[in-house]
Amino acid sequence: HIVDDSGARAAIVHGDQFDRFAVPLDTLDPFMIGNDYERRLANASPAAPPCATSPDDMAVILYTSGTTGRAKGVMHAHRALLYQAADTNLATEAQASDVMLATTPFFTAGGMLRTVSWLYLGQTMVIHQRFEPERALDEIEHHKITFTTFIPTMLQRTLAMIESGPPRDLSSLRRISYGSAPVPPGLAERAMRLLGCDLQQRYGLTECGGQATILTPQDHRDIVAGRNSILTSCGRETPMCVIRICDAEGRSLPAHEVGEIVIESPANAMGYWNQPEQTAATFRADGVRTGDMGYLDADNYLHVTGRKTDMIISGGFNVYPAEIERVIAQCDGVELVAVVGVPDAEWGETPVAVVVPHPSYTDLEALTAELSTVCREQLAGYKQPRRFAYRNELPLGPAGKILKGRIREDLDATQPDAVIAHQQSAD
């Protein structure tokens, strides 16, 4: 799909990846990079080749993860890439002396656009080909890594490796950035203790350069210390972003009212490749319509309640899965959670929480009772999951996003006695 949609004419492939290159080569002109790349680079002229390029010309097309349909090509201009890099470096307090471990695929916004920000400062970058926790720890130790990006599942696996393995010298590591899903307070405390570094959470999407908010290291320390008001937040806007919450007519909403998240930033993309109608609907003069629902609190922290398309309508009420997920993720026994809507004869749809429990939690009936209590205390009756199902893992896309369509299919195919269920009242 991507080759056909983009009209790509050439492919640059490293020699050790050539046999895995799945695209039919009769449609592309492949250029293979061999082991002599460094020698060729050293012998090349340092002068930039002559090129009539404007700062507002398209620099790159990044394809979205396609978790809700066909992947869309997001066009980024040269100027926007530099704004994205500067915004990231300001928000993360990056230093030229940092040694970065690249763990996420380069075809994602989190991988490719973070790489631009690292190159912007001339930082050293160590490329991690395929995530393996033991090898990631080896690289942190050997290369004295100071900063890396994980998704929560990577963080969980890395901590488990530290707890079960020999002592490690990870003293060089000063910060880990994560996204795609919230990190429970228990996991955050464990990570800061075992890794001895700061954590930051980011929220964004390919259309805005991958980052629009930051939940800072101090915010994480405050959460661990008991500041529950920002427990479900993904932080405040980065230096170059302005975030508004809008109703269906585009009017700004006051604090604590749920609406669509709109991001205004010079780092925003130009639009979608070959999709003028979708571009007009999403990329407006006053910002990108994200399709995410959420609210800003009185301190301007953003709380994401879910995707428009993920919304569950239960008994006539709108239920946003992300709100439920962030409540459940607070519990120490939860490593990962996804909430989806399933058909219900009485309510139309009802929310079901699919949970990956921490390995130490073997009594799932007790965990279900604990999760039910937390949901009862913090959620309205119509938002409380009617069932909890437990899995060893959840299906993830390349960027670490949970594939909820696959989860719904799995629940449809699962016999009732194959999951541990707990019914909630709808009061």
Q: How confident is the model over 19-67, as pLDDT tens digits?
A: 777 666 667 777 777 777 888 889 999 898 888 899 999 999 999 865 5
What is the pLDDT at residue 316? 78
**Do residues 383 and 358 touch, judged by C-beta distance below 8 A?**
no
pLDDT band at 417; cut points 50, 70, 90: very low
What is the pLDDT at residue 51? 86
Percent of the chain with pLDDT over 70: 92
Q: Where are the domains of the chain?
A: 52-306, 311-418
Q: How many CA atoms lie within 13 A of 130 on its CB side?
A: 1
Compare 416 and 218 and report the one with higher pLDDT. 218
Residue 426 pLDDT > 80: no
DSSP 335: E
What is the pLDDT at residue 181? 65
Name the pairing type of β-strands 387-390 and 124-127: unpaired
What is the pLDDT at residue 423? 44
Q: How far is residue 232 CA from its own chain's centroid?
A: 15
Cα–Cα distance measured from residue 287 to residue 290, given in angstroms and rounded to the nearest whole number: 9
Compare 25 and 89 and report the one with higher pLDDT. 89
Residue 234 pLDDT > 50: yes
In this predicted model, what pLDDT tens digit does every residue of 163-178 receive, in sequence order? 988 999 999 999 999 8
Query: Checking phi first, is residue 250 left (phi over 0); if not, alpha (psi -120 to 50) or beta?
Result: left
- In 10 A of CB 118, how many CB atoms? 20
Cα–Cα distance measured from residue 122 to residue 119, given in angstroms and rounded to the nearest whole number: 5
DSSP 17: G
What is the pLDDT at residue 343? 87
Distance between start and end Cα atoms, the chain = 47
Is 240 strand, coil or helix?
Answer: coil
In this predicted model, what pLDDT tens digit does every residue of 185-209 receive, in sequence order? 777 888 899 999 999 999 999 999 8
Query: Which of 3.40.50.10490, 3.30.70.1350, 3.40.630.30, 3.40.50.12780 would CATH assign to domain 52-306?
Result: 3.40.50.12780
- Quote the mean pLDDT of the chain: 87
pLDDT band at 427; cut points 50, 70, 90: very low
In this predicted model, what pLDDT tens digit does every residue of 245-286 receive, in sequence order? 999 999 999 999 999 999 999 999 999 999 999 999 999 999
- Sheet containing 147-150: which strands, arranged edge to edge? 124-127, 99-102, 147-150, 175-178, 198-203, 213-215, 236-237
| Radius of gyration, CA atoms only, the chain | 22
What is the pLDDT at residue 198? 94
Compare 17 and 382 and report the one with higher pLDDT. 382
Cα–Cα distance measured from residue 97 to residue 226, given in angstroms and rounded to the nearest whole number: 34
- Among 188, 148, 185, residue whose Cα is nearest residue 170: 148
Is 245 strand, coil or helix?
Answer: strand
Stretch (H or E) spanning 150: strand 147-150
Cα–Cα distance measured from residue 170 to residue 137, given in angstroms and rounded to the nearest whole number: 8
Taking residues 143-151, what's their average pLDDT?
A: 93
For helices 217-224 and 185-195, give the axis angle rounded to 10 degrees.
Answer: 110
**Do residues 199 and 191 touch, judged by C-beta distance below 8 A?**
yes
**All residues at 6 or more sequence positions from 243 whose CB lies less than 8 Å from its CB, including other chains:** 212, 213, 237, 261, 262, 263, 264, 296, 302
Residue 391 pLDDT > 90: yes
Compare 224 and 261 and report the one with higher pLDDT. 261
Q: Which CATH architecture has domain 311-418?
A: 2-Layer Sandwich (3.30)
What is the pLDDT at residue 11? 84
Cα–Cα distance measured from residue 172 to residue 98, given in angstroms and rounded to the nearest whole number: 10
Residue 421 pLDDT > 50: no
pLDDT band at 124; cut points 50, 70, 90: very high
What is the pLDDT at residue 373? 95
**Do residues 153 and 125 touch, judged by C-beta distance below 8 A?**
no
In this predicted model, what pLDDT tens digit does every residue of 335-360 receive, in sequence order? 889 999 988 877 888 999 999 998 88
Q: How many CA atoms lie within 13 A of 268 on its CB side?
A: 21
Cα–Cα distance measured from residue 324 to residue 338, given in angstroms and rounded to the nearest whole number: 9
